[in-house]
Structures are given as C-alpha cells and as structure tokens.
A and B are shown apart, each in its own frame.
Chain A
C-alpha cells in the first residue's frame, strides 16, 4: 500500500475526482462556461492520449495527428449536412476513415526515420487539410455548421451539456485504460523496445514495422473518435482543425504533460488550456510567456509535469 501513496498518484487522484465532480460545482455556482471549457479539454486530452501512444511510448514523432480530428469531425459534419444524423452511421465511418487514413500514411511513412518521418506525416496531414478545404459543397474554408448532434436512437442525449461532459469523460477514461492495457502488454513492450533500440528488436526477431503500423492505426482511430466528439461539442467543423499548427498544439500537450506517461496527456491538456484561459484574462499577450515557457520545459524539464511530480520525493 505504501508504494501507491506518492505525489504523482495523489495528484492523479485529485485531478480525476475534480473532473468527475466538475458539473456539480458548475451547478452550484451557475457557471456553465466551465463545463464547456472542460469538455473541450477532455476531448483534446483524448486526442493527446492517442498521440502519446505513438509519440511517448512508440517514439514516432507524427506532425500530422490533427488530421484525424478533422477526419472524425468531418465524417460527422458531412453526414449531418446530408441529413443523416444517426450516430450509428456517423461514428463508425469516422473511426473507419481514420483507421484507413492512418493505415495508408503509416504504411508509407514508417519506412522513413527522424526528420523525414516528421515531414512526411506533416505532408499527408496538409494534403488532408487541402482536400477538405477544397470541398465547396461542405463549406471549404468557411467551415460547416452542424445543426443536430449525433443521434443514437434516443439512447443518449448529446445535446445535454452535463450529459455530454460525462460522456466525454467516460470515453477519456476508457481510452486511458486502453492505452494502459496496450502499453503493459507484450505488444506495448515491443513498441517501447523499438523506441529505444529498433535494431535490437529486429535482431530478436520482431517484425517491428508491422508492430509500429498497428500502433499507428490504433492511435489514429482513437483520435478520429476525438474528432467526432469535437464536431458534436462545437456544432461546427472547419479545415482549420487539421492545420499543422494544431498538430503542434497536440505535441505541446503531450510533452508538457509528460511523454510516455499514462496521465501526462491529460495533465498537458488541462495545463495548456487552463493556462490559456487564465493568462488571457491577465494579459492579451500571454503567448509571450507560453513561448519561452515551452522552451524552458524542453531544455530543463523534459519529463513534463509528470516528470516533475516524479521528482517530488517524500520527505
């Protein structure tokens, strides 16, 4: 029991409890905006968690992860625009399209390494961005308003703010659980092994390319799910969701929170977005602080928030 009670676990517990009780707080204080803000944080945390799988655990630096947010989002948006509101059609398509896209990109990109991998994932994501921006029927650069949220035959009411919040929270917990199981399985050990030394893993006999590809597809699919959630949250999708700077934001979240840690992406998402809200209230030039902060994290606190927590030793 003693091993469980360290700073990191206490912090995680506090965060999880706070998130679960947030709508209650909102109900008491009447501040509904905080529910909207944290729904967005949770959805982005799901996206960051999926990125952490390939970036943190797998060592694959994909600069095109925001593309899946767009694919998932537009799957919902396009169907809604055409009058098909059933979530039973929209969401599976979102997941399948994300998986397919990840499969194709992964198959081609995973043959490259280092900066080339970064560039090629970026290229494919930009291509997806341009495809979507080029569709006049679905708004192009102006984006697409979604007039009705995904309908699951009346089983769930996504238009209810509190319900939607808990829905997203459950999805987040499920995704973190999935990542936990994956990472601690044989599959996960191989992936992490490839990150530290691929030649060795290959020498042992693992088909590393295939393992990485599977990991890549899982991450893409999970992010596509986040995309479908985003579409339902904002009732609006636009190509800007997929622009390369958004992929950068996701990477920042993962690194800030702590790469290769289970709850790091969640911490990173909370930290970044809360910081944005708080700082922009203080000064409109808040990014002047965020920029150097990022720099300092890279130089001195590479393990992110999770790393800092790990350093807190009991007295």
Chain B
C-alpha cells in the first residue's frame, strides 16, 4: 500500500513538474487603431510600448517577448474580432492597448471568459470600474470620469458659474460629460452629444453654445476631431470670447496641428511630459531621441502597461499558468511608473494625482506644461459598485 502511494506521489510530482515550468515566450496582444485619422494615437501607443520593450531588453523575467499588434479600425465589432483572434488563434498571455471604450466593452467578455489578463492602456469605461470589474482586467490609465471630474473641480476653483458641455455620443463621451457635471458646482446650461466618429462638423453645436452664453465651454474630442473642434471654435468667433476647458482634446499629438488655437486652453491629465520623476525623464528623453517627437499620455500609459506586465512576469518567475499568482502580482503594481507613485484601487483602477496642463509657446514649438496639481490620490467613484469575483 505504502509503495503504491509513494509511487503515485512520485508520479504526481513528476507530472506537476513541467506544469510549474516557465513559458518559452511571453505573448502579448495589442489592440489599437492604426488606420484613419486617429492612427496617430495608435502609433504613439505602439512606439511607447516598443520603447518599453527596448528598455527591458525585449525580455521579461529573462523570457523573450513577442507582441502582436492588431488594428481595430475604430470599430467595436472589428476590435472584438481581433481580440478573439488574439486569444484563440495566437493564444496570447496578456492583451493590452484599447483606445476606445466602446471597443473595450465589446471585447471584454472574450477576455474574461477565456481568463486572459487584459490591461487597458487607455479606455476606461465606468462599467469597468464598477459592475463589470473582473480579476482579469486591469487599467494602466484611469476611469473615464476621473479626468473630467478634475476639470470640474478646477472650474470651481476658477469661479466658473455656468458651463456648456459638448462631446461625442459614445461610451467615453457620455462618461466625460457626466464626469464634469458631477463635480462642477455651477449650472450646466446645455449639453450636446455629437455623432461619433462621423460628425466632424460642429457648427450646429457651437451655434447653440453661443446662444446659451455660458461662462465656459467644456469639450472632449480625442484625436483629429480635437483639431477640427478648435479650428471651428475659432471660426465661429468664440475663441477669446468664451473660455474653453478640455479633457483629452489637446495633447502632444494634436498640439502640432492645433498650434496657437490651443494657447490658453487648459486641460487636465494624470500624466504630463514634464513630471519630475526618473522613470518619466528617461521615457520622454529616449522617446524623443528614438522617434523625434514628444510622447503623449496615450504613450505614457502604454509604457506603464508594459512595465506592469513585466513586474508580474518577474514576480511569478514566468509561470503564467497560475492565474491567481499573476493576478496578485499585477495588483501589487510593483514597478516604477512614469507618473510617479502608482497604486491600484480594489477595482484594479489606479488611484492617482491629476494635474493641470496649459499650452505655452517654447520658441517655435507649442508644448504642454504642468501648472498645478488639481487633486491628489483621486479614486474613481464607481469602486463601490465593484463586487470583484474570486476568479
């Protein structure tokens, strides 16, 4: 009897042996938009991710890394299809990227059902911080509300009494406008949601804003639409007449096109390129050297995502089959983020500072400068709705 047990035990050990072994490669899937006018965002994210891998020597925990980039074409159904392909066909260990909240929401079920770890490097729909939170989903960016909420707080600080809100009609747009309204103490005199992404002509909405005569206008238009909006804001004669407050509309990518239209237009962000920590200084300097342009917050978040994944691989010594261990390692977030201190809330959304960014002219260039900290250690408001399942 004992001999049999011993033999059985030995056999079990032998069987368990290979299972605890390391992977041959770490496969990471990256979903972003590489076509159309917003491709500039996808490229920035890819560049930053690649830079992070360079800094890591293209290895995580000594294991070579392979990244597969897929284009969601700015469409939820395509993003979902590509997510499915990455999970089922390429069998990736981690999946990251995701610029758009609607693409992320469409792809979420596939990742969660297959227990594939998903780190969103931009999209932050509120459902993700709340009822749809999952042990397999993490964010290296923020929750959609947090940034506009900071803008709302800033507008209070500036004594703004009434605001007109304009944004695109999709998951993130709605979150943004709701975010401002939730912290802003004054009156919201009007709100317009435009068709996204087709509608690039905002003359109707601007006319309505002019009619309402608010103290300020708040706008959220990522990518090329941000350029169009500022152009049309000036063309409608509003620039200089009604102050504009923004979130995600002016960044290092759109600024070269917006130029002096963006002067004097403040925005909020959790990362600005002049944050004074070592990791950030290295990131920005090397990015400028390699790509001859400035990284945006999209890139900073992608860089952090790579470092976050790396920290988990190192902590679990490359044994990714133990999902609980990987999760715990991710939750620890034991890496040097380019935004300084980085910690997760219980819903896997970061608790972080938000800074005020202003546009200034530096010689011939237009750059973003951090002018103040609006709020410290800001946590999203949805975490109470998150009932994190065990697995």
One digit per residue, 1 when the CB lies within 8 angstroms of any chain A CB and 0 when it does not, for chain B 80-97 equals 110011001100000000
A151 on the interface (CB 8 Å rule)?
no
CB-CB under 8 A from A234, the residues of chain B are 80-81, 84
Instruction: Please classify how large the interface on chain B is, using the bins under 10, 10 to 19, 20 to 34, 35 or more.
Output: 10 to 19
Indicate if A285 sits at the interface (CB-CB under 8 A). no
Q: Are B196 and A141 in contact, CB atoms less than 8 angstroms apart?
A: yes
Binds A, one of B52-60, B103-111, B225-233: B103-111
- Does B346 touch A at the CB level, under 8 Å? no
B75 contacts chain A at the CB level, 8 A cutoff: yes
A33 lies within 8 A of B85 (CB): yes
Q: Which residues of A are found within 8 Å of B110, using beta-carbon distances?
A: 235
1/0 per position for B105-125, CB-CB distance to A under 8 A?
110111000000000000000
Complex CA gap A236/B196 in Å reads 20
Q: Which residue of A lies closest to B132 (CB)?
A: A145
**CB contact between A236 and one of B80, B85, B89, B170 (< 8 Å): that residue:** B80
The answer for the CA separation of A143 and B110 in the assembled complex, in Å, is 15
A147 within 8 A of B: yes
* Interface set, chain A 103-157, CB cutoff 8 A to B: 140-143, 145, 147
Knowing A36-B88, A142-B170, A142-B171, the reply to whether A147 touches B109 (Cβ < 8 A) is yes
Q: Are B77 and A145 in contact (CB under 8 A)?
A: no
Name the interface residues of A15-31: CB closer than 8 Å to any CB of B.
Answer: none
Determine whether the beta carbon of A145 is less than 8 Å from that of B109: yes
Chain B residues, CB < 8 A from A33: 85, 88-89
Say if the beta carbon of A32 comes within 8 Å of chain B.
yes
Evaluate contact between A240 and B88: CB separation under 8 angstroms.
Answer: no
Picked from B77, B84, B85, the residue with its CB within 8 Å of the CB of A238 is B77
A129 to chain B, nearest CB (A): 13
**Is A241 engaged at the interface, CB distance under 8 Å to the other chain?**
yes
- The contact of B106 among A32, A140, A238, A241, by CB within 8 Å, is A238
Q: Are B88 and A241 in contact (CB under 8 A)?
A: no
Which residues in B have their C-beta under 8 angstroms from that of A147?
Answer: 109
Question: Complex Cα distance A141/B173, Å?
Answer: 13
Residues in B neighbouring A36, C-beta threshold 8 A: 84, 88
Q: How far is the CB of B103 from chain A (nearest CB, A)?
A: 9
B109 with A235: CB separation less than 8 A: yes
A131 to B106, CA, bound (A): 20
Contact between A145 and B88, CB atoms less than 8 A apart: no
Whether A240 contacts B77 by the Cβ 8 Å rule is yes
Tell me, in angstroms, the Cα distance from A147 to B80 when the chains sit together. 14
Give every chain B residue within 8 A of A240 (Cβ-Cβ): 75-77
Complex alpha-carbon distance, A32 and B84, angstroms: 12
| Cβ–Cβ < 8 Å partners of B196 in chain A | 141
Are A145 and B106 in contact, CB atoms less than 8 angstroms apart? yes
- Interchain residue pairs A-B with the least CB separation, the first 7: A142-B102, A33-B89, A33-B88, A238-B77, A143-B76, A240-B77, A145-B109
Q: What are 24 A-B contacts with C-beta separation under 8 Å?
A: A33-B89, A36-B84, A36-B88, A141-B76, A141-B102, A141-B196, A142-B106, A143-B76, A143-B77, A143-B102, A143-B106, A145-B105, A145-B108, A145-B109, A147-B109, A234-B80, A234-B84, A235-B109, A235-B110, A236-B76, A236-B80, A236-B106, A240-B76, A240-B77
- Further pairs besides A142-B106, A143-B102, A236-B106: 19, Cβ < 8 Å: A32-B88, A33-B85, A33-B88, A33-B89, A141-B76, A141-B196, A142-B171, A143-B76, A143-B77, A143-B106, A145-B109, A147-B109, A234-B80, A235-B109, A236-B109, A238-B76, A240-B75, A240-B77, A241-B77
